[in-house]
Copies of this chain bind each other. A is one copy, B any other.
């Protein structure tokens, strides 16, 4: 198995998600961090680069410098792909530059700031024939894959109703005496985060989850967005959506940054004609499966009965049952399939379905469409709006 060399932009000291990208990628083997522009601050950039064993010459001062520097290296030395862990407003330009320079890309979600940018990147991915991954990490959890495969196999029957929620209470921790723009940095500024705060950050995970697990498409949304946090301006910190999905299914999607006492209470319930499924992110190693005339079942990660229905869940598991796996393993799962797809391409063979099981261009565009539709519906008097 070829060791893939990874470059990273963002994810420096003080950042959250870039570190998790690295932990996920490194955990499974087969990927090594070889270059990076982690922090703009040179001293911090050096510190983190050293810790990661990145050679001093490959601790770059800017994204552009990294692209230039790596491109100048002999092909067998330069990084194979670049992980983009910067604020949303930078994604589009960075992905573009990376693809054009011939690198595969792992992009933190949301893909871009607008649907148009996402479509532009879709064209570029096709043109450059590079592999593009989008870090919708929660679909990397094994029990989410099992849920999808239980639906796919017909076990659940026809899916008729979905309830998906992503409540957080994080904005309740803010110090209201500090001016807003100094509080939570880029995530609360429309210029850097986009027109949506809560839906763009976490609602989009919920939408992605619904489509992944049910195999249905969200066709229309009717949304009501709210801004409770003092000084949050036009950004929303809470929102509720009614959903119309393909094949006549209905649903509700709730996301919140002001759900006091919640941490990452991401959860879904899927009700089919035969079975109901329940999963929550904070207890990710189990999936509840319930029918009407039978005892409720708790399916547990890592068991042969899971693997039988869901080879994808088995592949995404790193340890036997009874050993809890967490959030980092979700990243690892997506990196594994992303990396195997790159390897397949480089070996000139068609990636398998299991290898291709990671979010990419399609999920990115769907996410941007969802965000735009939700904003439009709420601003337009809560009318049904196509996604």
Q: Which residues of A contact B (CB under 8 A)?
A: 1, 3, 16, 19-20, 22-23, 26-30, 32, 50-53, 157, 160-161, 163, 165, 167-170, 172-173, 222, 224, 226, 228, 238, 240, 242, 250-252, 254, 256, 258-265, 269, 271-276, 278, 281-285, 288-300, 303-305, 318-329, 382, 384
Interchain nearest-CB distance for A34 vs B (Å): 11
Known: A224-B242, A252-B240, A322-B264. A298 touches B295 (CB 8 A): yes
Number of copies: 4
Task: Please measure, in the bound complex, the distance between the C-alpha atom of A156 and the C-alpha atom of B134, giving whole angstroms.
Answer: 39
Q: Are A319 and B328 in contact (CB under 8 A)?
A: yes
Q: Are A238 and B250 in contact (CB under 8 A)?
A: yes
Q: Are A222 and B27 in contact (CB under 8 A)?
A: no
Task: Give chain B residues whose Cβ lies under 8 Å from the Cβ of A319.
Answer: 16, 19-20, 326-328
Known: A23-B28, A261-B292. A325 touches B327 (CB 8 A): yes
Contact for A1 among B50, B254, B261, B262, CB less than 8 A:
B50
Q: Are A271 and B290 in contact (CB under 8 A)?
A: no
Task: Please measure, in the bound complex, the distance between the C-alpha atom of A161 and the C-alpha atom of B257, giving whole angstroms.
Answer: 11
Task: Please measure, in the bound complex, the distance between the C-alpha atom of A341 and the C-alpha atom of B253, giving whole angstroms.
Answer: 43
Task: Give chain B residues whose Cβ lies under 8 Å from the Cβ of A169.
Answer: 271, 276, 290, 292
Q: Are B290 and A260 in contact (CB under 8 A)?
A: yes
Q: Which residue of B lies closest to A159 (CB)?
A: B260
> 5 extra interchain contacts, Cβ-Cβ under 8 A, other than A29-B52, A293-B305?
A32-B53, A161-B238, A169-B290, A293-B303, A324-B326
Task: Please measure, in the bound complex, the distance between the C-alpha atom of A22 and the C-alpha atom of B26, giving whole angstroms.
Answer: 10
Q: Are A51 and B30 in contact (CB under 8 A)?
A: yes
Task: Please measure, in the bound complex, the distance between the C-alpha atom of A169 and the C-alpha atom of B292, giving whole angstroms.
Answer: 7
Q: Are B271 and A261 in contact (CB under 8 A)?
A: yes
Task: Please measure, in the bound complex, the distance between the C-alpha atom of A291 and the C-alpha atom of B172, giving whole angstroms.
Answer: 9
Task: Please measure, in the bound complex, the distance between the C-alpha atom of A1 and the C-alpha atom of B19, giving whole angstroms.
Answer: 17
Q: Are A318 and B328 in contact (CB under 8 A)?
A: yes
Q: Are A258 and B282 in contact (CB under 8 A)?
A: no
Task: Give chain B residues whose Cβ lies under 8 Å from the Cβ of A261.
Answer: 271, 275-276, 278, 288-292, 296
Contact for A292 among B172, B224, B250, B283, CB less than 8 A:
B172
Interchain nearest-CB distance for A370 vs B (Å): 18
List 5 interface pairs A-B (beta carbons < 8 Å), by A numbering: A26-B29, A29-B52, A260-B272, A262-B322, A293-B305
Q: Are B297 and A296 in contact (CB under 8 A)?
A: yes
Contact for A384 among B29, B252, B292, B382, CB less than 8 A:
B382
Task: Please measure, in the bound complex, the distance between the C-alpha atom of A299 and the C-alpha atom of B271, giving whole angstroms.
Answer: 20
Q: Are A327 and B324 in contact (CB under 8 A)?
A: yes
Task: Give chain B residues whose Cβ lies under 8 Å from the Cβ of A238.
Answer: 160-161, 250
Interchain nearest-CB distance for A323 vs B (Å): 4
Task: Please measure, in the bound complex, the distance between the C-alpha atom of A258 and the C-alpha atom of B240, giving whole angstroms.
Answer: 21
Task: Give chain B residues whose Cβ lies under 8 Å from the Cβ of A276.
Answer: 169, 259-262
Q: Are A23 and B16 in contact (CB under 8 A)?
A: no
Q: Which residue of B lies closest to A383 (CB)?
A: B382
Task: Please measure, in the bound complex, the distance between the C-alpha atom of A370 and the C-alpha atom of B7, giving whole angstroms.
Answer: 49
Contact for A299 among B291, B295, B322, CB less than 8 A:
B295
Interchain nearest-CB distance for A297 vs B (Å): 4
Task: Give chain B residues whose Cβ lies under 8 Å from the Cβ of A16.
Answer: 319-320
Task: Give chain B residues whose Cβ lies under 8 Å from the Cβ of A295.
Answer: 289, 297-300, 303, 305
Q: Are B256 and A161 in contact (CB under 8 A)?
A: yes
Task: Give chain B residues whose Cβ lies under 8 Å from the Cβ of A297.
Answer: 295-298
Q: Which residue of B lies closest to A266 (CB)?
A: B322
Contact for A242 among B20, B281, B382, CB less than 8 A:
B382
